[in-house]
Amino acid sequence: MIVRIMGEGQLRIADEHFTTLNQLDDELGAAIEAGDDERFRAALVTLLDEVRKVGTPLADDELVDSDLVLPYAEAHIDEVRELLTEEGLIPLEPPAR
């Protein structure tokens, strides 16, 4: 899966990381639902850090459509709330390619 972090670039994420990413996404969603800005901020930073850790950056000249776009680390809770789907930010299953 190709993930774009707004303002940073794209990373390729192997399917084997979906379980961990979905757990972090669930924590983020719970913080948003609770309206807990401090918890939200920590959950967003943790999710983005994990994506950076497990992802392989794409070269700047590699043009690939993103399967998923994640907000930048400084995004406001309301901005991220608008990006959520029923599955959160991360789909439950990796997209078929």
Q: With 90 as the cut, is the pLDDT of residue 21 above it? A: yes
Q: Bridge partners of 68?
A: 3
pLDDT band at 52 (very low <50, low <70, confident <90, very high): very high
pLDDT computed for residue 88 by the predictor: 80
Between CA 5 and CA 11 the distance in angstroms is 8
pLDDT computed for residue 13 by the predictor: 95
Q: Where are the domains of the chain?
A: 2-83
- Nearest alpha carbon to residue 83 among 28, 42, 21: 28
pLDDT computed for residue 44 by the predictor: 96
